[in-house]
């Protein structure tokens, strides 16, 4: 197994025995459903047909540089989504962005934006200002909600909320419809993989530390975070793989058609690297790879600044920053 010199007291190896060469050779899983495209296209069409019922409210997060509003809208299954819209002041808006988040949820927006870009920060169904009925608000519980069936699994609504977020931004900024892009890490990276192939309105993407990819490997990996919940559930209910294969970001990444920057870590105790790199490996669109030593772990190591610099360069090459 690779030794990156990282000190930790975890009871397992967060590289899972893969070096970079091996990570870059991981193929698509072999359990893709025959009706994968039909399933996701149907969800997308259902979602696009729904009224958004947009409501905006003032936000205390506004400052001299940006105007911030709370924006609420409807998505699949009647779920109401909360978000923050951040618009830079004194700039002409020429691009629009939907920004996902990790499985810790989002309690507040970022109050900086790329130049001339309005950014929507939607909150995942069940969390914070998107609290909804009995959808759990912690990652380890949320990831199992409705997992008994592909037609009840919460990831349907999670992905749909990002299609609805795109509709919100295009309705609010119709002149920027051709410059919509997506950015998300961890949970947000996994949801990006799942939702991007079906929504042609997104024109480019940045996906980091991508979760929910290559479930056949993922359920074999001891890890922290939401993955540990899915692994434990799978060990008691192996038939759940029939559901999980419809929500495998690897199959979706294989269908992404827009320029995408992937950021993947070689050492990650929460999102096993084999899944992250599978998403990059199988993507057939124009793509860039930013390799980090660690993900979901301390970033205090000498190489980090250079890794981040290369990632920014990759994003700028695709016009993301």
What is the per-residue pLDDT for 1?
A: 67
What is the per-residue pLDDT for 144?
A: 98
| CA dist., res. 44 & res. 55, Å (int) | 22
**Residues with Cβ within 8 Å of residue 56, at least 6 apart in sequence:** 69, 70, 71, 72, 85
What is the per-residue pLDDT for 321?
A: 76
| Per-residue tens of pLDDT for the chain, all 321 residues | 688 989 999 999 999 999 999 999 999 999 999 999 999 999 999 999 999 999 999 999 999 999 999 999 999 999 999 999 999 999 999 999 999 999 999 999 999 999 999 999 999 999 999 999 999 999 999 999 999 999 999 999 999 999 999 999 999 999 999 999 999 999 999 999 999 999 999 999 999 999 999 999 999 999 998 999 999 999 999 999 999 999 999 999 999 999 999 999 999 999 999 999 999 999 999 999 999 999 999 999 999 999 999 999 999 999 987
CATH classification for the domain delimited by 20-317, as one of 3.90.226.10, 3.40.50.1820, 3.90.1150.10, 3.90.76.10: 3.40.50.1820
Neighbours of 198 (CB within 10 A): 20
What phi and psi, each to the nearest 5 degrees, are found at residue 120? -105, 130
pTM over 0.85: yes
| CA dist., res. 166 & res. 71, Å (int) | 13
Partners of 271 in beta bridges: none
What is the per-residue pLDDT for 225?
A: 86
């Amino acid at each position: 197994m690779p030794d990156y010199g990282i000190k930790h007291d975890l009871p397992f190896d967060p590289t899972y025995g893969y070096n970079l060469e091996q990570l870059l050779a991981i193929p698509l899983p072999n359990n893709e459903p025959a009706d994968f495209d039909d399933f996701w296209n149907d969800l997308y069409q259902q979602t696009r047909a729904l009224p958004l019922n947009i409501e905006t409210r003032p936000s205390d997060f506004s400052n001299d540089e940006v105007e911030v509003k709370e924006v609420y809208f409807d998505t699949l299954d009647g779920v109401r989504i909360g978000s923050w819209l951040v618009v830079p002041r004194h700039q002409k808006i020429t691009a629009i962005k939907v920004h996902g988040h990790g499985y810790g949820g989002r309690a507040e927006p970022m109050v900086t934006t790329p130049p001339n870009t309005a950014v929507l920060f939607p909150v995942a169904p069940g969390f914070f200002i998107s609290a909804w009925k009995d959808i759990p608000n912690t990652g380890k519980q949320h990831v199992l909600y409705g997992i008994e069936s592909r037609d009840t699994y919460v990831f349907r609504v999670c992905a749909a909320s990002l299609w609805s977020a795109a509709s919100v931004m295009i309705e609010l900024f119709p002149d920027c419809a051709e410059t919509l892009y997506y950015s998300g890490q961890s949970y947000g990276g996994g949801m990006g993989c799942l939702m991007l192939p079906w929504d042609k309105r997104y024109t480019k993407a940045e996906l980091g530390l991508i979760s929910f990819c290559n479930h056949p490997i993922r359920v074999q990996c001891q890890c922290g975070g939401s993955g540990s919940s899915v692994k434990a559930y799978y060990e008691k209910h192996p038939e759940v793989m029939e559901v999980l294969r419809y929500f495998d970001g690897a199959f979706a990444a294989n269908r992404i058609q827009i320029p995408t920057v992937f950021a993947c870590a070689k050492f990650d105790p929460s999102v096993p690297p084999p899944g992250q790199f599978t998403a990059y490996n199988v993507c057939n669109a124009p793509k860039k790879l930013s390799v980090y030593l660690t993900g979901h772990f301390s970033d205090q190591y000498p190489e980090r600044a250079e890794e981040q610099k290369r990632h920014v360069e990759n994003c700028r090459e695709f016009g993301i920053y």
